[in-house]
Amino acid sequence: MPELPEVETIVRELRKKIIGLKITDVWVDRPKIVKQAGGIKKFSKQIKNKKILNVRRRAKYIIMEVEGKKTIFIHQKISGHLLYGKWIPLEAARVRSAPLPLTGWKSVVKGPLQDDKKNGYLRFILYLNNGYQLGLSDLRRFGKVILIDDEKIKDLKEISGLGPEPLEIKFKDFKKLFKNKKRKIKQVLMDPAFIAGIGNIYADEVLWSSDIHPLSRTENLNERDFKKIYSNIVKILKKAIEYGGSSTDDYRMPSGRKGRFQEFQNAYQKTGQKCKKKDGGIIKRLKLAGRSAHFCDKHQILK
């Protein structure tokens, strides 16, 4: 699932492309992607000819503000990512003797939108008045879109229980979050009710850089540990945003290109490799609450 840096990258790229444009039409491959009363027909009626005013992020979610009193909420889920480009229907692609796409659409923009299979599973398209489209490619079909009243966005179940944003919280407030917390540190960092947007990739990277074993108990950590965790959260998330996020799996940028942060990962999906700290350790993998945790068996200390 795209984590904070991936979603932030998407939002920043889309702000450059779609703010001020009007939505002229919508297409979905299956109606159930739109999760609201009235379904796709009502959704389409309410967004047509509406200008896009802003695109922002909350945790791992994309919030698109449009004219009027409605907001488009997008959850990309496990394999979804928003793309900005131009596509033609499969029948038109056949007429042009182009290679057949993975679903019913063919990108007319050359490069990764056309060549990378991860970008070929279009499930949802917004048509824009500049001739371009905003599409959701989603191999697993778990993504969803909701059109909701502006004042109710904060009450969505995905939003209402979220913890603070990790790039906005100060250290003293971050430390307070751990008061009375008695859990394994990686589980805590991945809990969106504790702090928003840190998933599997970045929890592994933060703990590797902080010399802390993912199974360490939060009640056993000291002031120095908390400072290291906080500092590395900020540093690693900012670096990941700088490099467009991590494309170790399905995620791609709106251009269809891969992010580059996977080139700098030290723990996530590095099982069996020598630790980059050259401490003689090997990156190992364990299961934690149904998820994988990657860590160095030398410098990451179990507390």
Taking the mean position of all CA atoms in its chain, how far away is CA 173?
A: 25
Please indicate whether residue 192 is annotated as part of the active site. Answer: no
User: Rounded distance, CA 145 to CA 74, Å?
Assistant: 5
- Any residues with CB less than 8 A from the CB of 213 and at least 6 apart, and which? 185, 207, 295, 300, 301, 302, 303
Give which of 289, 262, 272 is closest to 189, Cα–Cα. Answer: 289
- Catalytic residue, candidates 17, 60, 70, 258: 60
The 10 Å Cβ neighbour count of residue 119 is 24
DSSP helix/strand/coil, 239: helix
What one-character DSSP code corresponds to residue 89?
E
Please indicate whether residue 31 is annotated as part of the active site. Answer: no
List phi, psi (to 5°) of 103: -120, -150
- Catalytic residue, candidates 3, 6, 8, 65: 3
The 10 Å Cβ neighbour count of residue 155 is 10
Please indicate whether residue 22 is annotated as part of the active site. Answer: no
- Catalytic residue, candidates 2, 5, 166, 254: 2
- Catalytic residue, candidates 22, 181, 277, 291: 291
Please indicate whether residue 291 is annotated as part of the active site. Answer: yes
Residue with structure tokens 């401490």?
279
User: Rounded distance, CA 72 to CA 263, Å?
Assistant: 33
Helix residue ranges per DSSP H, the chain: 4-18, 39-47, 90-95, 112-115, 157-160, 171-176, 185-189, 200-210, 223-242
Catalytic residues: 2-3, 60, 291
